[in-house]
Amino acid sequence: MAVEEYWAPATLSDALERLRGGDVTILAGGTDLMPQSHAGRVTLARGLLNVRRVPELRGIEAADGGVRIGALCTMSELMRDPLVREHFGILAEACDHFASDQLRNAATLGGNVCNASPAGDTLVPLLVLDAEAELASKPDGRVQFRRVPLSAFFSGPGRTARAPDELLCAIRLPRPPAGFVGRFYKAGLRPALDISAISIGIGGVPGGRALGQARVAYGAVAPVPMRARRTEQALEGAVLDAATVERVAAIARDEVRPIDDVRASAWYRRELVFNMTRRMLGDVAHA
């Protein structure tokens, strides 16, 4: 069906009212939606809701001891933001690996999250940072909010816990523990402007050749971006000598559930996970 109505409301309440009517496609940066609809892979609904004028979806501000990042923040804004760079550096690092300047200037964090691609580049650092999705709806005429941990948000490729009448307003990140460091790695077929064949996020508090409060996440190796809980348990408190690094990387290789597709075979993805996890943990051990 062709788009019959187009709205660009200036308030959250109006945007949610449109969503409540049903049969609506939400448009943010359009970097995914527009190419996908032109290619016939996505059918736009009867109403197109451009959310770019909604103020509640903008800005990066300190909140609840951490940060609230409006869903409309672009990759370029995240890369430059001093608060993000200082306390949530792994997210800025992932944005730096995202596509090209042109796309980084238009692509939003909310679009990346709601797209729910297993290969979405910001999703791995957001999982490492224990992110929560802030969703708004207006079921009975009043604006209501709820929060969902990102680890429970993705239910399959392109599928999330967001109800059709909900708008993703923001991503909330708690302040990481003192001394926390995080690193992001992305492998693709080309060095730039490529979708991940795999991605890895590792974070924690290094000390005494170990990584405390370890958090590990992988992208493009399962139907949804995943926290690797078994790998985290194996890491916790372990002194990262060569044998331990090898053992933990092998657990990670075993924990991921990749498929064969155009970007890489499942076997190659597992080997990448093993080799790059080993290299990243080796760096921690020698830091």
Ligand X SMILES: Cc1cc2nc3c(=O)[nH]c(=O)nc-3n(C[C@H](O)[C@H](O)[C@H](O)COP(=O)(O)OP(=O)(O)OC[C@H]3O[C@@H](n4cnc5c(N)ncnc54)[C@H](O)[C@@H]3O)c2cc1C
Instruction: Provide, for the chain, the percentages of residues in helix, strand and coil under a 3-state DSSP scheme, each rounded to the nearest 5.
Output: 35, 25, 40
Report the residue number, 103 or 250, with the smaller CB distance to ligand X. 103
Query: From the CB of 281, what's the least distance to ligand X, in Å?
Result: 24
CB closer to ligand X out of 115 and 231: 115
Spatial separation of the C-alpha atoms in residues 128 and 124, rounded to whole Å = 6
Please name the residue that has the structure tokens 């992208």: 219
Nearest to 107 by CA among 218, 24, 32, 57: 32
Measured from the CB atom, the residue of 27 and 131 that comes closer to ligand X is 27
Strand partners, 211: 206, 236
Residue 154, burial from CB neighbour count under 10 angstroms (0-12, 13-18, 19+): buried
- Name which of 109 and 234 has its Cβ closer to ligand X: 109
In angstroms, what is the minimal distance from the CB of 279 to ligand X?
21
Separation of alpha carbons 271 and 198, rounded Å: 10
Report the nearest approach of ligand X to the CB of residue 121 (Å): 4
Q: Which stretch of DSSP H or E encloses residue 212?
A: strand 210-219
Residue numbers at the binding site for ligand X (CB under 6 A): 25-33, 35, 51, 71, 98-99, 103, 106-108, 110-112, 114-115, 120-121, 167-168, 195
Least distance to ligand X, CB of residue 188, Å: 8
Shortest Cβ distance from residue 112 to ligand X (Å)? 3
Residue from 30, 166, 156 nearest 3 by CA: 30
Q: Which residue is nearest to ligand X (CB)?
A: 111
By beta-carbon proximity to ligand X, the closer residue of 44 and 250 is: 44
Q: Supply the minimum distance, in Å, between the C-beta of residue 171 and ligand X.
A: 10
Cα distance between residue 247 and residue 97, in whole Å: 28
Nearer to ligand X, 24 or 276 (CB): 24
